Amino acid sequence: MASSIERKFRGGQPMRFTGVWCAVSLLFFGVIGAHAQAIGQGGGASFNNGIQGGTPGVPPAGSNVVTVQGVVAGNPVSSASIPYPVGAIVNAPVGTQANAITTTSITGVVGRTSFLCGVQITGLGATGASTVTFTIGGLAGGTFTYYITVPAGVTTPIAPLLLTFNPPLQANATNVNIQLTLGAFGAGNTVQNIQAWGYTL
């Protein structure tokens, strides 16, 4: 290799690049190459948007990490378990009969208040058509009353009654049942059903 390289510049004098320049260049590119090799082996710091490299799944030291926790089966009701509030004990009672008064309740608990979130009435008709009452008792503010039409025809479904309450209906005191009562559908009826859901807090 020649000891120097000459390159002409427009309108200027020759410029010499000596062996010293070549040595400095080789040293510079050697350092960059070694750094790149270290990154490829998982060490050192990369230039990927300023995020330090390292072990996958393990945040680098000094990182700002936000952990998002989901709902795990079996855990107590938390703020993530909408619509029930923190500390609620969920209650989903069912009452089923055949041509008989049908009852169920959000049962009171000592030191806690009962709340009713919703209820659904289903069933089949009876030999003759009729209208029966459905009541929700034990509420702050008094008893709610609804009327259910029972069709003629023992295999004919009634029109389901679906009620949801937002906010939930509250019992009139602690340790009081919210009582749901459905009148008998009539002779020939084979099924009448109450499904409710709520909680105590």
**Distance between CA 131 and CA 50 in Å, rounded?**
73
Task: Check whether 115 has a pLDDT greater than 90.
Answer: yes
Q: What is the CATH number of domain 89-200?
A: 2.60.120
Q: Which two tokens stand for residue 34?
A: 């070694």
pTM over cut 0.75: no
Task: Check whether 134 has a pLDDT greater than 90.
Answer: yes
What pLDDT, on the 0 to 100 scale, is given for residue 84? 87
**Distance between CA 49 and CA 37 in Å, rounded?**
19
SS3 at position 40: helix
Residues of the chain with CATH 2.60.120: 89-200
Provide mean pLDDT across the span 130-144: 97
Share of residues in the chain with pLDDT > 70 (%): 59
Task: Check whether 122 has a pLDDT greater than 60.
Answer: yes
Q: Name the E strands within the chain.
A: 4-7, 15-18, 89-91, 94-97, 102-106, 113-123, 130-137, 144-150, 161-174, 178-182, 192-200
Instruction: Summarize pLDDT for 68-101 with one digit per residue, the tens.
Output: 333 333 344 444 445 689 999 999 999 999 999 9
Task: Check whether 170 has a pLDDT greater than 50.
Answer: yes
